[in-house]
């Protein structure tokens, strides 16, 4: 079946512009997660949702970052007034059930490579 | 606080030889432990997980991992390496129980495995 999809796969933007990154989880997956991965590092947690409710946003680096999942399916991660330090791979993942219900693994999408010039 | 250490940036092994990729972790409470593999230009792929029970966990593509509670380790192993196993491997941990931070996976920095013919 279809996996997690993300768009765009590559995004180049100028400093100060806003960007919106989209994630389409595996059909039927309840939970959706956003991570950021710098070169040479492992993914770093940003935020996650159960259905449409944002559960934990403590990983968002500052208030320029926000995420939503209004209908409990597709999610958008928005970065306002981008800065060069925001350049990274942004990865989305989904899991069948909420983490409170067990050890459900997270399935990752291909990522969006964001470059801020 | 949760954390993962992968002490080796690179592991090189000859095809047909056994391989080990090391991982140690720190977590409050009991851990769920995961291994993911990343191929170039692709997302992270789930390999295997430890929940509870048997210390030796079997996963995809002939990989297995050994959980050692006293050493807080979860090393990835394979009895006979293939050239196609060459990739970047990530160990990850999360706590189980209840709480809003349960969703986040903590990743190591990754270990580049190279299997030469």
Q: Give the nearest partner residue to B109 out of A4, A42, A108, using CB atoms.
A: A42
pLDDT digit string (tens) for A39-72? Answer: 989 999 999 999 999 999 999 999 999 999 999 9
**B28 Cβ partners below 8 Å, 6+ apart?**
B1, B2, B95
pLDDT digit string (tens) for A63-77? Answer: 999 999 999 999 999
Q: What is the DSSP letter of B70?
A: T
Residue B97 scores a pLDDT above 80: no
- Residues in A touching B49 (Cβ below 8 Å): 103, 105
Can you tell me which residue has the tokens 């279809």? A2
**What is the mean predicted confidence (pLDDT) over A30-46?**
95
- Residues in B touching A3 (Cβ below 8 Å): 43
Contact of B58 with chain A, judged by CB distance below 8 Å, is answered with no
Least confident of A28-32, A44-48, A103-107: A103-107
Of B1, B56, B53, B6, the C-alpha closest to B29 is B1
Contact of A59 with chain B, judged by CB distance below 8 Å, is answered with yes
Contact of B1 with chain A, judged by CB distance below 8 Å, is answered with no
**What is the mean predicted confidence (pLDDT) over A97-117?**
90
Can you tell me which residue has the tokens 């941990």? B93
Cβ-defined contact of B107 to A103 (cutoff 8 Å):
no
Contact of A51 with chain B, judged by CB distance below 8 Å, is answered with no
Q: Are A13 and A20 in contact (CB under 8 A)?
A: no
CA distance B66 to B50: 9
pLDDT digit string (tens) for B33-82? Answer: 999 999 887 889 999 999 888 899 999 999 999 999 999 999 999 999 99
Contact of B90 with chain A, judged by CB distance below 8 Å, is answered with yes
Provide the pLDDT for residue B101. 72
Provide the pLDDT for residue B92. 96
Give the percent of chain A with pLDDT over 90: 90
């Amino acid at each position: 079946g279809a996996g997690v999809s993300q768009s765009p796969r590559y995004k180049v933007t100028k400093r100060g512009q806003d960007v919106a990154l989209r994630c389409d989880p595996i059909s039927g997956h309840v939970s959706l997660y956003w991570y950021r991965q710098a070169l040479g590092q492992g993914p770093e947690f940003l935020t996650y949702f159960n259905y449409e409710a944002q559960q934990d946003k403590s990983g968002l680096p500052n208030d320029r970052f926000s995420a939503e999942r209004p209908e409990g399916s597709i999610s958008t991660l928005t970065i306002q007034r981008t800065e060069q330090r925001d350049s990274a791979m942004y990865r989305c993942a989904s899991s069948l059930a909420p983490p409170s219900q067990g050890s459900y693994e997270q399935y990752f999408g291909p990522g969006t490579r964001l470059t801020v010039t | 606080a949760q954390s993962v250490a992968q002490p080796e940036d690179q592991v090189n092994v000859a095809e047909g030889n056994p391989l080990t990729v090391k991982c140690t972790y720190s977590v409050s409470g009991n851990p769920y432990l995961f291994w993911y593999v990343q191929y170039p230009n692709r997302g992270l792929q789930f390999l295997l997980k430890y929940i509870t029970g048997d210390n030796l966990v079997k996963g995809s593509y002939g990989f297995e991992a050994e959980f050692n509670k006293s050493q807080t380790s979860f090393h990835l192993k394979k009895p006979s390496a293939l050239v196609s196993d060459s990739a970047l491997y990530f160990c990850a941990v999360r706590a189980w129980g209840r709480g809003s931070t349960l969703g986040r996976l903590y990743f190591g920095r990754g270990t580049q495995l190279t299997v030469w013919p």
